[in-house]
Structure 1
Amino acid sequence: MANGELVLVTGGSGFIGAHCIVQLLEAGYRVRTTLRSLSREAEVRAMLKADGVQSDVQLSFVVADLLKDAGWAEAVAGCDFVLHVASPFPASVPKHEDDLIKPAREGSLRVLRAARDAGVKRMVLTSSFAAVGYGVPVTSQPFTEESWTNPDAPEVAAYYKSKTLAERAAWDFIAREGGALELSVVNPVGVFGPALGADVSTSIEIIKRLMDGAMPGLPRITFSIVDVRDVAQLHLLAMTDPAAKGERFLAVAGKSIPLQEVAQILKTRLGEAAARVPTRLLPDWLLRVFALLDRSVALVVPELGKVRQVSNDKARRVLGWAPRSNEEAIVASAQSLMVLGLLKR
């Protein structure tokens, strides 16, 4: 339990950020979180209450934007730790890659400078598997923390490039001018689990579309999953464990899973509530046609037929992390959408 230490969480209105706040408050930390506008404060407090937080008196808010210097010195003042979770994550391909790269890289460096100058002990950066497993050959061997995305590969999408360049910039900053500030990095795969509010993440949107029957069929894609509650726990472990200093940790529940199996889990576990979930596979050529008309489909096409395995051995071995199963994360996602009334009636 914390001795009232103060932790800054950037992007507290986001999926991972909100769950980090929940676990920090439950562990006895004081928490400050950044929002781009205080108009979302009530929404964040409602999200925490929905997750069973008994008291949020130890939570405060400050305005700060990843693209602006203003507010960051105030945000980190007096903080023992920083969880830098905020980063843009699009539902479709951006018109220009700098729309993602600039806030991801420059935002991380802004927070790092402010944290160093304020005497913060350690910052945990939320990176992504996007910075680990793209633009390189996919083999039967699992990706590990030693793996890095090649941002110069022509097939690497802007989001993957943004996460890679932001994380690289963070490690370079620590090496060259970090001073006493320590850095740890968490690299989640697709983050599922219980949504706390109506503004759902890109990953949860997949479950929503399945449950609503918004997909005519299933693309032939396979991906790795992790529960958001386990991602938040890994952030806290990376924040406090001495062994996490200077290390990156992949957050992944287990073996990758085909979308067709995700659909089957929903139908098996949720019965009539999952009646709209499709089960038939879409042919690859049809997805390529759809991609010409829909930018969100264009993100899927390069992944057709690829199977990436990802190892969670390091987080388990070094930090004692024990994540929930793929199935538990998938079902929790759908159940939260039902409870929040976010599915078609």
Structure 2
Amino acid sequence: MSNKTLVVVTGGSGFIASHTILQLLQQGYAVRTTVRNLSKNKHIKQMLKNGDITDLSGLSFIETDLTDDAHWDEAMTGATYVIHPASPTPTLNFKDESEMIDPAIDGVLRVLRASAKAHVKRVVLTSAYGAIFAGHRDQTTPFTEEDWSDLTQPNIHPYQKSKTLSERAAWDFIANDDSGLELATVNPVAVMGPVLSADYSHSNIQIQEMLAGKIKAVPEVDSGYVDVRDVASLHIIAMTSPKAAGQRFLATTGETLSFLDVANILRDAFPTFASNLPTKVIPAAVIRQQAINDPMLKMVASVAGTYAETSNAKAKKLLHWQPRSAKDAIIATAQSMIDLGIVKPAK
């Protein structure tokens, strides 16, 4: 491992993180990943094996927590690059929005401080589309990296606030840092693609629930989609490309699909599940009304009926990034869930 370039990837059990680690190992990097508990090591190794990695000799683990200062300096020692997909787990049942916002900001700053101290060359932060689109009710042109969520507007969900404010904090840190540390951010839309275990991201839950027949009608929501393998590759390109320093990159295929479009893609690709898949749409106004008394619907309500067109022109032009289609990403999600037995074949 001593002859390999070391990359620290935070939160190794995460959906984006695990695919990023997989690709880094395939490309010959040494990877040190942070975990909240070393008991996750076996799970992460199994995920990587499910992704067809056989040689894990370049992988090491260190126990750290984004809510605690302990061990972050040790985690960054010897690293050339840091990729930071980890984020404190959001709770939808919060009493105060600061419960979601403050840990996100503090976690990013812990990683950046330790990276600067260890003379890391560049950090690639996994931000989110949520730091771009929120608060723009009158948007008529595709969102780009130039856009920032407008937190002065009403009804911005705390999750979108946490992503916006934590990314802002990262850029502010870099502006005032004199260590030479560089920053790039990747802002993914809804992330699909092959899951490596039954522990998958919240954006994939809708696929599992649709296939399982748990969703009888879908909310009136449009979204961009992107494959996790392409999100991982964009992080790695942004890590090494001289052009990426100081830049944000919107990770999107540039396509916009409704939830019903997603269901129809699954219906065509997996006809044996057709009877399980929804055919009806719940209007945005109904969702917003229901969310008044149901906090679990507030995030969906905040995006129901809103404009969601996005552009990937910057990543394609500057970094020559070429994502696969949203349809391919959605089908890959479902196929992996079927292959791993997460979704049982319809009877």
TM-score by length of 2: 0.95
RMSD over aligned Cα atoms? 1.6
CA contact 2:77–2:118 (8 Å) conserved in 1:
yes
Deviation, structure 1 residue 293: 5.1
1:69-218 aligned at under 5 Å gives the runs: 69-90=69-90, 92=92, 94-218=94-218
Question: How far 1:96 sits from its partner (Å)?
Answer: 2.3
Amino acid at match of 2:238: A
Counterpart amino acid of residue 246 in structure 2: G
Residue 54 of structure 1: aligned partner = 54
Q: Distance in 1 between matches of 2:93 and 2:149?
A: 18
Query: 1:35, 1:56 → 2: CA distance?
Result: 16
Residues 187 and 251 in structure 1, CA contact (< 8 A), matched pair in contact too: yes
Q: Secondary structure at the match of 1:218?
A: strand
Asked if 2 retains the 8 angstrom alpha-carbon contact of 1:91 and 1:202, the reply is: no
How far apart are the structure 2 equivalents of 1:205 and 1:293?
A: 23
Residue of structure 2 equivalent to 1:341? 341
- Tell me the secondary structure at the aligned position of residue 60 of structure 1: strand
Residue in structure 1 matched with residue 258 of structure 2 by the alignment: 258
Alpha-carbon contact 2:66-2:88 (below 8 Å) kept: no
2:13 corresponds to which letter in structure 1? Answer: S
Aligned to 1:8: 8
- Match in the other structure for 1:313: 313
Answer whether contact 1:186 1:234 (CA < 8 A) is retained: yes
Change (3 A) 1:243 1:284: closer
Q: How far off is 1:229 after superposition?
A: 0.3
Distance in structure 2 (CA, Å) of the matches to 1:200 and 1:169: 28
Task: Please say which of residues 304-313 and 234-243 is displaced more in the overlay.
Answer: 304-313
**Residue 137 of structure 1: CA displacement?**
3.3
Superposed displacement of residue 169, structure 1: 0.5
Q: 1 CA distance for matches of 2:178 and 2:207?
A: 40
300-309 or 232-241: bigger deviation = 300-309
Q: Is the 8 A contact 2:119 2:179 kept in 1?
A: no
Give the count of matched residue pairs: 344
Deviation readout 1:49-81 (Å, 9 max, x if unpaired): 000012111000000100100010110000000
The question of whether the paired residues in 2 share the 8 Å contact of 1:184 and 1:246 is answered with yes
Distance between the aligned counterparts of 1:102 and 1:156, measured in 2? 16
> How far apart, in 1, do the equivalents of 2:59 and 2:34 lie?
11
Question: Greater CA deviation, 55-64 or 138-147?
Answer: 138-147
Q: Percent identity?
A: 46
Aligned equivalents of 1:293 and 1:208: distance in 2?
26
Identify the range of structure 1 (135-144 vs 23-32) with the bigger mean alpha-carbon deviation. 135-144
AA matched with 1:74: E
Following the alignment from structure 1 to structure 2, what is the Cα–Cα distance between the partners of residues 296 and 178?
43
SS at match of 1:144: coil
Q: Distance in 2 between matches of 1:272 and 1:187?
A: 35
